[in-house]
Structure 1
Amino acid sequence: MAEPWRAIAERKRAERQSRIPKAWLIPSPPSGNGNLIGKHLDILSKPELHITQDFDATDLLSALTARKLTSEDVTTAFCKRAAIAQQLTNCLTEVLFDDAIARAKYLDAEFARTGKPVGPLHGLPISLKDTFKIKGHDASVGVAALCFKPAVTNSALVDLLLSLGAVLYCKTNIPQTMMALDSHNNVFGRVKNPANGALTAGGSSGGEGALVAMRGSILGVGTDVGGSIRIPALCNGLYGVKPSHGRTPYAGQEGGAPEGSSKVAIEATAGPIAHSMSDCEMFLRIVGDGKPWLFDPDCLAQSWEQQRSIASPLTSSGDKRKPVLRVGIVRTDGHVTPLPPVQRVIEDVASTLRSSSSTSATSIEVVDLDLSSLLSRCLKVSNGIFSIDGANTWFDLLESTSEPLSPWLQSRLRRRPAKSVDEVVKLQAQRIALQKEALQIWRPDANGNEIHVLVCPAAPHPVALVDRWNSVNYTSAFNLLDLPAGVLPVRTVTKEDVAVELKEGKALNGWDKTNQEMWGAKERKEYLGSTLSVQVVAPRLQERVLVEAMGVVDEVLKGIGKKAGSRL
């Protein structure tokens, strides 16, 4: 008879706790929902506080390669700060501190011996979502049946990052089944939003978002099949980028599904969650130039530099005129009407981009777009493809140890018959039709002008209360269409935002009605001061265009009120 899930979970949590040195424990972790960022840092020395607080990943990497800092010192500092973050937010699953510090010492020794850094990510600590397999360690994804079954091989991106000189020091918490937008599972428990415990930390890369927000990580890697990088980035005031399928290695992850099933599914992709756009660009550039196609057969044989051949509005062409960035503003997906703070921040962004054109180094043109017909039809197709196997693999795993569904999933997920081949083919045909329709967005108009990126909401509401996230279509539509997309913080929710009442009118559907119910007095009080972010979307496989455009937009938007971001 299989060991019951509760006993497995207790053993797994005890293992995690045992790997945090006693000297790094917080005597009395606080209760309540107060802001935890920058708190309880007494175990850090002044140099460790400087390392973890005063750099972004790009600057820290420069300091490492210039030998101003050692990898051992940097890795130790982030291991200690990750231990603090774990005790305050429950963001970790696998604690790999001993292995990481040993690797950092090796990298320092190699640098001293050869006089050269060991790869372009030399000595940089990087955290990973729990789905990534690291040989000798679990990838349990918060399911009891997968605990104490260490991986025998590395995920493709793990091998690539190690070859580039990175240090991998922890893995982070996720929701059960990875099909929820709030990171809770029965093995490790719930991830807490560091800024406000009444709000969600997001999912499914919620542990990654919380850890980076706590500066227990300078650069994290999440995965995204419906919003799982962008939503935690939004919830934690961070930057996050979801590439198109084929740009970054994804092979070899634990996803609760048989190998090969991704070929008939919506393809998940791996990407960065970080403190700055320069960090997102750095990660994607170095991974892109690391020949990812030699690690994952799904990756395109095209380096970051080779993306210059794609019609980019921002790459240098020798033309001395200011480059033009033409931005399409999308206000709604036509399925759920955004709440007032989301509407207001989109208007703020549109007006700021329009007024910045004469002063920015890039000439920005803003065009209003209505994509509600296209985007509203994505949801049904996405849901159909997400349920191809009827969740049978997940239920088989859970039932093998009598593990129940996480509370949020109990009313939303049940075992169903797997779809037939004909049903799968029909769904994929519908997806292809929507992707073909989406090509119209990027085609030049009668005057030869083309849209380079979209700016739109990432959710129809501000950061939601725990277990209250409503409608993933604002992010999942772009997974279905396989368009690269990223999130960047703009400002915080203000008293003026929460004073706006909803316009009278009938709800569009049940999702829209639920969204309206998220505008009560209790919710508005909790939204106050939380992050408002926007999403930026580019044509398929144009990640270089995306991050360049996000960098321009981010720089322009820094003038909008008090910036809500990881540096606050």
Structure 2
Amino acid sequence: MSSQSPPYVEIAERKQAELAAAIPAQWRLPKNLIPEGMLSPAESITEGPKQYERVNVMDIPRTCGILTSKELDITENYDVRGLVSAITEGKLKSEEVIRGFCKRAAIAHQLTRCLTEPLFDRALRRAEELDYKLRQTGKPVGPLHGLPVSVKDTFNVKGIDSSIGLSALAFKPAQENAALVDLLQSLGAIVIAKTNVPQTLGTLDSCNHLFGRTLNPLNRQWTAGGSTGGEGALIAMRGSMVGFGTDIGGSIRVPAMCQGIYGFKPSNGRVPYGGQESGQLEGKGRMTLQPVAGPLARSVADLGAVMAEIVPRAELYGEDGIPGIWPAISIPNSLAPPRNFTIGILKTDGVVTPLPPITRILNEVAGHLRQTPGVEVVDIPLPNALPKCQGLAGRLMGVDDGSSMLDKIENMGESLIPWLQGRMKRGKALTIEQLARLQAQRAEIEKEMLKMWTLSSSNKTRRLDAIICPIAPHPVPQMDRYNAVGYTSSFVLLDYPAGTVPVRSFAESDLELGREMDAPVIGSWDKANRQLWNEQTVDRRVYLDSPLSVQVVTPKQHDYQLFQAMEIVDRAVQGKVGSPNAKL
């Protein structure tokens, strides 16, 4: 390292060496299996998408020879409840399950840069402890006994850094666990790794100077999403059964969309949030827009399996947790449902017009649902208050002057990552009076939005159980090109639970080559979104095979209803209507 190098360079080199040393030599991929162009962490930030070929690395874990046939079976052929049952019934040992997932996480990291803190050694020790306790007592430690899980780097794990990609926070291990980590461990789950995030946690492309850029395993040209992008890549590659992230502008739902998995943003308080490193002024979230924690998984059932254990215990573990129940009622979909389930189709937020393939996928999902017994589908007009949400959410996120985060970045000589350049700068903190006015506007919007769910202003009978809308107004874009966050941030402002359900892949028929959009441009955000479809500014073929997903939303605190709605949508689009295991 040059004596003239900024301070972060030496720290990043140390941190990356530490990470590499945590991966055993026998778990390392031979160079010929790592696609060309796997740049160094530093280069991965500056070079961007132009250096990456269209490469899908999803099959490498099963073909590289590092995982045994039993480990492949463990990591590929179980859901959450099935895996826990296999362990508690003695068919599998916790140690062999955790070893298989740790090996697969190590492989995933070598292909995507998804990890920040591999916790493999301590995870294997904990697995051995669980195996011993099960042999001695005949009882599992908890309902998630032996389940391998991962967490976003923001969550504190005692004795481990929560550097969140900032060199200023590296080599400063946490003094205690986050509340969610304690809760997961009490349930018998084992945290095997922490995962990568973007610089500032404020972008939808996960890259930073400490760990580099997380790559999308489906196609290295596409963004992996953010800010829970490392979790998205790890879960997609089956390196963990369930991952936990946070969401203030879409940070759970967007990575799920980008990598074709399922994400669940609950209502505030359903999942303990405290005990995290944000790099921000401590307590800021209590005054402005409060982020929430939630899971990412490869099925709706797996989301439900972990939420069923977390929700009833949230109030006992987190100072921000609220009392809750998670019903365990299963009604075959082939039987008459207890009541009709009404789903509204909301096609736009009034700020950014969705690109044609996004509108098409909404229409397709609506068509599938109309063929589902017990489900009524209605098109709903744009609520007058919804277009106001994106701007207000943005103002509430930026109520301080930004100095807490920017000081950490600038003092270590770090530059802003590409997406933040020109977008982030020091501002002027709002006064108490200004903040109060914003919160008053929020209350008015919340009041107006209530009308969307009921029959009329005078009749307070619920009309809708859920709505379906876009997650983004565009398909999964290339790195650093994610555009509008209003479709996700608005539901944090409103504190509506919302989730991601993948539908299908982008096909040749979705390209509409030679046909441009003719709808009037609404504003600057809409204009920027058109650049992702205009054939003068993008080759639409970059979207081929990318996952197309929808967002499912329910009213405030109706989190179990969100799970139900996501399962209804998922079964409809996967052609599983009438399955005896479907729930309504």
Instruction: Name the TM-score class by shorter chain.
Output: over 0.9
Out of 330-339 and 319-328, give the one that drifted further: 319-328
Tell whether 2:501 aligns with 1:488.
yes
Q: Give 3-state SS (helix, strand or coil) of 2:315's partner.
A: helix
Deviation at 1:257, TM superposition (A): 1.8
Tell whether 2:529 aligns with 1:515.
yes
Deviation at 1:3, TM superposition (A): 7.6
Out of 319-328 and 245-254, give the one that drifted further: 319-328
**Counterparts of 1:107 and 1:484 in 2: how far apart (Å)?**
34
Show the counterpart of 2:483: 470
Deviation at 1:538, TM superposition (A): 0.5
**The one of 35, 38, 52 aligned to 1:30:** 35
Which runs of 5 or more structure 2 residues have no equivalent in the other structure?
37-52, 577-584
Show the counterpart of 1:410: 421
Tell whether 2:141 aligns with 1:118.
yes
**The one of 6, 12, 15 aligned to 2:15:** 12
Deviation at 1:107, TM superposition (A): 0.4
Q: Which string of whole-angstrom CA distances, capped at 9 and with x for unpartnered residues, describes residues 427-477 of structure 1?
A: 111111111111112224569561000001000000011100011000110
Work out whether residues 418 and 480 of structure 2, in 8 Å CA contact, stay in contact via their aligned partners in 1.
no
Tell whether 2:468 aligns with 1:455.
yes
Q: Which string of whole-angstrom CA distances, capped at 9 and with x for unpartnered residues, describes residues 30-81 of structure 1?
A: 1243100021431101101111111222321221222211110000000000
**Counterparts of 1:335 and 1:401 in 2: how far apart (Å)?**
38
Work out whether residues 340 and 502 of structure 1, in 8 Å CA contact, stay in contact via their aligned partners in 2.
no
Show the counterpart of 1:563: none
Deviation at 1:304, TM superposition (A): 2.1
**Counterparts of 2:566 and 2:351 in 1: how far apart (Å)?**
26
Q: Where in structure 2 are the equivalents of 1:34-183 lying within 5 Å? A: 34-40=55-61, 41-183=64-206
Work out whether residues 516 and 534 of structure 2, in 8 Å CA contact, stay in contact via their aligned partners in 1.
no
Work out whether residues 470 and 515 of structure 1, in 8 Å CA contact, stay in contact via their aligned partners in 2.
yes
Out of 418-427 and 71-80, give the one that drifted further: 418-427
Deviation at 1:105, TM superposition (A): 0.3
Q: Where in structure 2 are the equivalents of 1:182-197 lying within 5 Å? A: 182-197=205-220
**Counterparts of 1:271 and 1:34 in 2: how far apart (Å)?**
30
**Counterparts of 1:95 and 1:249 in 2: how far apart (Å)?**
23
**The one of 453, 467, 479 aligned to 2:492:** 479
Work out whether residues 339 and 502 of structure 1, in 8 Å CA contact, stay in contact via their aligned partners in 2.
no
**Counterparts of 1:58 and 1:536 in 2: how far apart (Å)?**
24
Show the counterpart of 1:227: 250
Q: Letter of the aligned partner of 1:542 in structure 2? A: H
Q: Give 3-state SS (helix, strand or coil) of 1:469's partner.
A: coil
Runs of 4 or more off by more than 3 Å in structure 1? 319-322, 444-449, 520-523
Q: Which string of whole-angstrom CA distances, capped at 9 and with x for unpartnered residues, describes residues 115-138 of structure 1?
A: 000001101010100000000000
Which runs of 5 or more structure 1 residues have no equivalent in the other structure?
309-313, 358-362, 561-568
**The one of 542, 553, 562 aligned to 2:558:** 542
Q: Give 3-state SS (helix, strand or coil) of 1:133's partner.
A: coil
Deviation at 1:371, TM superposition (A): 2.5
Deviation at 1:402, TM superposition (A): 1.8
Q: From the superposition, tell whether residues 248 and 431 of structure 1 become closer, same or farther in structure 2 (CA, over 3 Å).
A: same
State the TM-score, normalizing by the size of structure 1: 0.93
Q: Give 3-state SS (helix, strand or coil) of 1:373's partner.
A: coil
Q: Letter of the aligned partner of 2:23 in structure 1? A: I
Tell whether 2:323 aligns with 1:301.
yes
**Counterparts of 1:260 and 1:315 in 2: how far apart (Å)?**
43
Deviation at 1:315, TM superposition (A): 8.2
**Counterparts of 1:517 and 1:45 in 2: how far apart (Å)?**
46
How many residue pairs get aligned? The number is 546
Work out whether residues 335 and 372 of structure 1, in 8 Å CA contact, stay in contact via their aligned partners in 2.
no
Q: Letter of the aligned partner of 1:77 in structure 2? A: G
**Aligned-residue CA RMSD in angstroms?**
2.0
**Counterparts of 1:14 and 1:375 in 2: how far apart (Å)?**
47
Q: Where in structure 2 are the equivalents of 1:154-553 lying within 5 Å? A: 154-289=177-312, 291-305=313-327, 322-357=338-373, 363-371=374-382, 373-445=384-456, 448=461, 450-499=463-512, 501-521=515-535, 522-553=538-569
Deviation at 1:372, TM superposition (A): 5.0
Work out whether residues 222 and 272 of structure 1, in 8 Å CA contact, stay in contact via their aligned partners in 2.
yes
Work out whether residues 88 and 134 of structure 2, in 8 Å CA contact, stay in contact via their aligned partners in 1.
no
Work out whether residues 385 and 427 of structure 1, in 8 Å CA contact, stay in contact via their aligned partners in 2.
yes
